[in-house]
Amino acid sequence: MRGRVLVVDDDTALAEMLGIVLRGEGFDPVFCADGERAMGAFRESRPDLVLLDLMLPGKDGIEVCRQIRGESGVPIVMLTAKTDTVDVVLGLESGADDYIVKPFKPKELVARIRARMRRTDEPHPETLEISDLVIDVAGHSVKRDGEQIPLTPLEFDLLVALVRKPWQVFTREVLLEQVWGYRHAADTRLVNVHVQRLRSKIERDPEHPEIVVTVRGVGYKAGPA
């Protein structure tokens, strides 16, 4: 399978280099150098993944990210030169699944892209239940009272990882490894932001979560504390 990757970056040299690396890894890169045209390029190319630079001329990366997320659950990986939490969290909250800080190694980038696209392998038919949610793992659907709750693939993976082992408390590091495919990473902002986003979709009262609960000092777990 040739995964199609939409690269939204205004730096032509970097975009070209990304193209070389992605093609070398067997992906099919499509390019867009302008925030204004990004949505058009996205609708036209229907990529399997979007690589999005946060600093773009025209419309900024955050806005583009929000718009794509409004239309689709396609994995979005941000490219950012800023490591400040404010910037990272802003990007993640606008809908990005993952982020990678410049400068990065090609292998690192490819690993992240693969981790996000990995989910094409066919899972076994499996139905999970927690609280009043019914999760169809193979069908990628979460329903409450028969009504579908739209989750991005990443949010879905996060929920399934937690619900599969409701007796286990997951540290943020374990979640990073299982859901994002990171190893030896201490960036818990990624987990925190996505747990918040997941809660806002599946919890009846996101301020007092009952499905994804925080275990203070350790991490998260599914079901009652």
Partner 1 sequence: MVGTTLVLSLIVIAVLGQLLVGRIADGLLEAKIEASLVEARAGLTQAQAQVAASDRSDPIADDRLVDQIAVQLANRGSSTPRLFDVLLLSASPGTPQRGSNLVSETSVPLRLRAAVARDQIQAWTYTTIAYTDGRPSVTGLSVGAPLSVPGVGAYELYYLFPLTQEQATLELVRRTLILGGVALLVLLGAISWVVTRQVLDPVRYAARVAERFSSGRLVERMDVEGEDDLARLATSFNRMAESLQMQIQRLEDLSRVQRRFVSDVSHELRTPLTTVRMAADVLHDARDTFDPATARSAELLQAQLDRFEALLADLLEISRFDAGAAVLEPEPHDLRDLVARAVEADRPLAQRRGADMVIHQPTTPCVADIDPRRVDRILRNLIGNAVEHSEGRPIDVTIACDDEAVAVVVRDHGVGLRPGESSLVFNRFWRADPARARTTGGTGLGLSIALEDARLHGGWLQAWGQPGDGANFRLTLPRHAGGELDHSPLDLEPADASSVRRVPVVAPPPSRSGAKDVSGGVRG
- To partner 1, the closest distance from the beta carbon of 222 in angstroms equals 20
Query: How many Cβ atoms are within 10 Å of 155's Cβ, its own excluded?
Result: 23
CB within 8 A of 161, min separation 6: which ones?
170, 175, 178, 179
Nearer to partner 1 (CB atom), residue 24 or residue 40? 24
- To partner 1, the closest distance from the beta carbon of 215 in angstroms equals 10
Cα pseudo-dihedral 136, 139, 141, 145, rounded to 10:
-60
Nearer to partner 1 (CB atom), residue 27 or residue 156? 27
Nearer to partner 1 (CB atom), residue 84 or residue 121? 84
Nearest 5°: the CA angle 26, 183, 223 is 110
Query: How many Cβ atoms are within 10 Å of 224's Cβ, its own excluded?
Result: 10
* Positions that interact with partner 1 (CB under 8 A): 11, 13-14, 17-18, 20-21, 24, 55, 79, 81-82, 84-85, 101-107, 171-173, 184, 186-188, 216-218
Q: Is the peptide bond before 209 cis (omega within 30 degrees of 0)?
A: no
Residue located via tokens 């793992």: 137
- To partner 1, the closest distance from the beta carbon of 65 in angstroms equals 18
- To partner 1, the closest distance from the beta carbon of 86 in angstroms equals 9
At 134, give phi and psi (nearest 5°).
-120, 125
- To partner 1, the closest distance from the beta carbon of 94 in angstroms equals 18
Note whether 51 and 5 are within 8 A (CB): yes
Residue located via tokens 């504390």: 225
Nearer to partner 1 (CB atom), residue 38 or residue 130? 38
Nearer to partner 1 (CB atom), residue 43 or residue 104? 104
